[in-house]
Structure 1
């Protein structure tokens, strides 16, 4: 299957599952998705692929869907809950990185086959994780702030504007910070620049794809019992 079709299918699947988990578990489900997607996308990002004729990293879909999760938290539960989700993801990424580094220090048994494969992935992970943690915290904090700053100006109108404007700028911050810390000097400059640009473009495309999903969440009233109570807090 071509990468492009696989990418579109994966994006639609992931964004749909965000809504399903939200419907089943509410804000707790969104917290879990933030943590899960953040850890997994930091493993996937080590793989480079060709997409739409460009070189980019894998993991963009899962990372972009984190922004959908935080925007859902912002829209339904308010600014404080969205910030709590951001900080929870940040803490869990630190723990995942630390624990895998400890795991690599154990001497493997004589019949072990996993150590070199784990080392190939997770020996590089501290640099990727450092870049991801810095980029994640800065971009997500900006995303929550911008989402509510726009909402304060527009009220309940123009959900598409606060969803997209906050995410697009935040994704630019994220891609720039991450690529400098994680990949500077790892690839030739031309490849590094292509990864930076295509990473942002793919994330921006995914951000556009998530707009119908946040409208669907509003239309279906996936959290009706808390929406009215938290809209005042969100302002």
Structure 2
């Protein structure tokens, strides 16, 4: 199976998973998804693949689902609940980093076979871990702020808070993903690659995020319908 087909399947599975968790467990399901996606994306990002003519790390789609979660919660539950998801993701990242680094401090048994692989996977440099965490905090908080700012502007324009869902969803996500891509690329790789290479990394990564952002629009509309059905019961 090609990498391109696997990525398409990955989008369908993960985006559908967000809706299923929301349908089954409501906002609590989305908060749990945030924990799952944060941990999984931190592991998956270590894998590098070639797809659609672009060399890319995995984890982009999984990470994109955390933005879907905050947009759904912003739309259906309000800014406070969306901010709660962001805070849960931040604490999950910190806990994950601390725990995995503690694992590496152990002296393995002579009969151990897993430690070398664990060491390779979780021995990220402190710079990458710190940059990843700081960028996550900035991008996620900006996403929540931008979503409600765009909502406020469109509501004043047409006096209908239900209109322009596509605009606040795509607008906030695309801006926050641009911020995320630029800050992480320059923060993690400044001094390691020349400026033209860094710009190339930012552009190629952002193209992927644009596609995943546009693909999540039907998911947001479906989530709003699910919310209406839940409240009508």
TM-score (normalised: structure 1)? 0.90
Partner of 2:157: none
SS in 2 for 1:112: coil
1:36-115 to structure 2, matched below 5 A, reads: 36-115=36-115
Partner of 2:158: none
Partner of 1:194: 200
Kept in 2: contact 1:47–1:58 (CA 8 A): yes
| Aligned mates of 2:5, 2:228 — CA distance in 1 | 29
Kept in 2: contact 1:97–1:125 (CA 8 A): no
Equivalent pairs counted in the alignment come to 226
User: After superposition, what is the alpha-carbon deviation per residue over 1:62-99, rounded to whole angstroms, capped at 9, x for unaligned?
Assistant: 01111101101101110011011101110111011001
Aligned CA RMSD, in angstroms, stands at 1.8
Partner of 1:233: none
| Aligned mates of 1:85, 1:223 — CA distance in 2 | 22
Post-superposition offset of 1:159: 0.2
Post-superposition offset of 1:150: 1.1
Post-superposition offset of 1:133: 1.2
Per mean C-alpha deviation after superposition, the further-off stretch among 165-174 and 28-37 is 28-37
Per mean C-alpha deviation after superposition, the further-off stretch among 174-183 and 188-197 is 188-197
User: After superposition, what is the alpha-carbon deviation per residue over 1:38-71, rounded to whole angstroms, capped at 9, x for unaligned?
Assistant: 1111111122211210111110000111110110
Partner of 1:121: 121
| Aligned mates of 2:153, 2:207 — CA distance in 1 | 28
Partner of 1:207: 213
| Aligned mates of 1:125, 1:34 — CA distance in 2 | 24
Relative CO higher for 1 or 2, CA cutoff 8 Å, sep ≥ 6?
Answer: 1
Post-superposition offset of 1:119: 1.2
Partner of 1:225: 231
| Aligned mates of 2:194, 2:45 — CA distance in 1 | 17
| Aligned mates of 2:55, 2:196 — CA distance in 1 | 11
Partner of 1:229: none
Per mean C-alpha deviation after superposition, the further-off stretch among 157-166 and 192-201 is 192-201
| Aligned mates of 1:92, 1:18 — CA distance in 2 | 18
| Aligned mates of 2:181, 2:134 — CA distance in 1 | 11
| Aligned mates of 2:171, 2:85 — CA distance in 1 | 20
SS in 2 for 1:221: helix
| Aligned mates of 1:115, 1:156 — CA distance in 2 | 52
